[in-house]
Structure 1
Amino acid sequence: MDKHKKHIVILGAGESGAGAALLAQQQEYDVFVSDGGPIAAAFVRELEENNIRYEQGGHTEALVLKADEVVKSPGIPEKASIMKKIREAGIPVISEIELAYRFAKGKKIIAITGSNGKTTTTALTYDIFKKAGLNAACVGNIGNSFARQVALAPADYYIVEISSFQLDDIQQFRPEVAVLLNITPDHLDRYDHKMEQYAAAKLRIVENQGPEDYFIYCLDDPGINQYLKNLPVQSKILPFTTMEPLKEGGFIANKELNLRVGEEEDLVVSIYDLALQGRHNLYNSMAAGIAARTMDIRNEHIRASLTSFRSLEHRLEYVASVRGIDFINDSKATNINSVWFALESMHQPVVLIMGGIDKGNDYSIIAGLVKEKVKAIVCLGKDNHLIHDALAQHVPVIVNTESMHDAVHASFFLSQKGDVVLLSPACSSFDLFKNYEDRGRQFKQEVHAL
Structure 2
Amino acid sequence: MELDFYDNSFQFWRRNSSIQLSSILDPFALSSELHLYGDFTDPNPLFHILLKEIYRNKENLSIECNSKTNKDKLKVNFWKIKCPRCGEEFPYKRKKPLRCPKCNNIIDNVDFKTWNNNLEKFLYGEISIKELFDSPVTPTSENYEKLRDVFLDPDIPKTKINFKNGFDSIYKLFSPNQLLVISDIIKQIRERKEEEIPIYSLALLDFVTYNSMFSRFNEGIIFSLFSSKEPTTEEWVELTQSYFCISLKRVLKSIKEKRNESPKIIASHPFTLDTKVLYNIELFFYEWVKRPLSYSNGYTLIPRLFKDYIFSYIDKECESFYEKDFEFSSNIGNLDKAIFYLDELDFNSLVYLISLKDFHISKIETEKNLFKIELIKGRKGIKPLWEIYTKIKKENDGIYLNVLSLTLREFTKYEKILGISNDPPTILNYAFKILSEIVNGGKSTKVIS
Report the TM-score range of the alignment, normalised by the length of the smaller protein: under 0.3
Q: Considering only CA atoms, is the larger Rg found in Structure 1 or Structure 2?
A: 2
Tell which has more relative contact order, 1 or 2 (C-alpha 8 A, sep 6+). 2
